[in-house]
Structure 1
Amino acid sequence: MDNDIKEACKIMQEGGLILYPTDTIWGIGCDATNELAVKRVYEIKKRIDSKALIVLVDSPAKIDFYTDHVPDIAWDLVEVADKPLTIVYPNARNLAHNLLAEDGSVGIRITKEPFSHKLCERFRKAIVSTSANISGAPSPRNFSEISQEIKDAVDYIVEYRQNEMTHPSPSSVIKLEEGGIVKILRP
């Protein structure tokens, strides 16, 4: 695991893309502050860039750095979540502009899974996490279901957990809007 983390961090620092296991499904990742790397993610997925990407961080303390204001309800949601939870926050900052939604919001998930947590901790910046598939195609449930086209398009493929055959679910997604409005986007 340590060699994978070291190499993945090196690749992302150089602006490259990785294929890696997360707390949900396998993802395409890159430095969430690098606009050119984010642009490549959209190109690989054949996805329009008006559809926002989410980012992973390793601790609640990092959320404040990437948003102007964290509503109090967010801390409660993070604390009680019993499965991976992505929260969409208004007024994102310190991230590549092309990964944000049109309204300036960003989806952030705190990962607790050992590999992605340690990767975020060591990289010390938010990491893009988007499903490892062409936009519109089914999300691969494990590494063996990732298309060769996706594998060929990234700069580094993490070896850790490639042989697992579990079928994890995507995270729940909740959007927090100004005025304390909470919207469930994906239960």
Structure 2
Amino acid sequence: MSTKHMLNEVDAAVDALIMQLIILYPTDTVWGLGCDAEVPRAVEKLYKLKQRPEGKGCIVLVADETMFARYAEQVPANLAELLSQQERPTTYVVKGSRHLAPNLLSADGTIGLRVVRHDDFTHKLVRRLGHGVVSTSANLSGEPAPTSYKDITPAIVRAADHVVSWRQDDDSPVAPSRVVRVLPDGSLEVLRD
């Protein structure tokens, strides 16, 4: 598919996010369900769709260090170094800021933030929206995460308000991101490798 097609898909997904709708989209890892990370009503709708309890938290995809800083109460001093050294998509669990929808935070007030690759559909989506985009795997809570579009249950596809057509035929192997907690001293605790 062409770059023009991808950009059209980005525009359509951004329009849906602005209208506080739930999108089904290819992230830089697995297929995800998402919404604008700053809109509590959209987050509530997403949790209902996934049958996920509030307070469990989700990941928020961001475009760069500046957007990361918007959503983190305290940015790790070595964030640029961490990002330059990561070999695969990595989510950093930090204390969430007041800019996030409150119902998006975990019970302990944390959020997972991931800076997406610059060459990715998701980067263009987040950059164009100008807000973080929630990313949670495209499955009902407790079920296995689908590794490709064809593995997503039809009920999830029907429940999403907008389905992105970009990369639906891509069966390349994917895996969820690595998840690390940023500790007060700047060191990392691996939660999922």
- Matching residue of 1:165: 171
- Matching residue of 2:3: none
Decide which of 178, 181, 190 is 1:184's aligned counterpart.
190
Would you say 1:93 and 2:98 are equivalent positions? Answer: yes
| Number of residue pairs matched by the alignment | 187
Tell me, in whole angstroms, the C-alpha distance in 1 between the residues paired with 2:26 and 2:185. Answer: 35
Structure 1, unmatched stretches of 5+, are none
- Matching residue of 1:30: 35
Structure 2, unmatched stretches of 5+, are 1-5
Give the 5 Å matches for 1:1-187. 1-112=6-117, 113-180=119-186, 182-187=188-193
**What is the CA distance between 1:180 and its match in structure 2?**
3.7
RMSD: 1.2
User: For each residue in 1:51-103, what CA deviation from the matched residue of structure 2 results, as whole angstroms up to 9, or x when unmatched?
Assistant: 10110011112111111211223332212001000001124330101111111
Q: Give 4+ residue runs of structure 1 displaced > 2 Å after superposition.
A: 73-76, 177-182
User: For each residue in 1:148-181, what CA deviation from the matched residue of structure 2 results, as whole angstroms up to 9, or x when unmatched?
Assistant: 1111111110000000112201000001133445
**What is the CA distance between 1:2 and its match in structure 2?**
1.4
User: For each residue in 1:25-52, what CA deviation from the matched residue of structure 2 results, as whole angstroms up to 9, or x when unmatched?
Assistant: 0000100001111011111111111210
Aligned residue for 2:78, secondary structure, equals: helix
Letter in 2 for 1:35: P
Tell me, in whole angstroms, the C-alpha distance in 1 between the residues paired with 2:78 and 2:128. Answer: 28
Question: Could you tell me the TM-score, scaled by structure 2's length?
Answer: 0.93
Aligned residue for 2:150, secondary structure, equals: helix
Aligned residue for 1:44, secondary structure, equals: helix
User: For each residue in 1:120-172, what CA deviation from the matched residue of structure 2 results, as whole angstroms up to 9, or x when unmatched?
Assistant: 11011000000000111110000000011111111110000000112201000
Tell me, in whole angstroms, the C-alpha distance in 2 between the residues paired with 1:174 and 1:125. Answer: 22
The percent of aligned pairs where both chains have the same amino acid is 38
Question: Could you tell me the TM-score, scaled by structure 1's length?
Answer: 0.96
Instruction: After superposing the two structures, state which structure 1 stretch, 61-70 or 148-157, moved more.
Output: 61-70
Q: Is the 8 A contact 2:96 2:105 kept in 1?
A: no
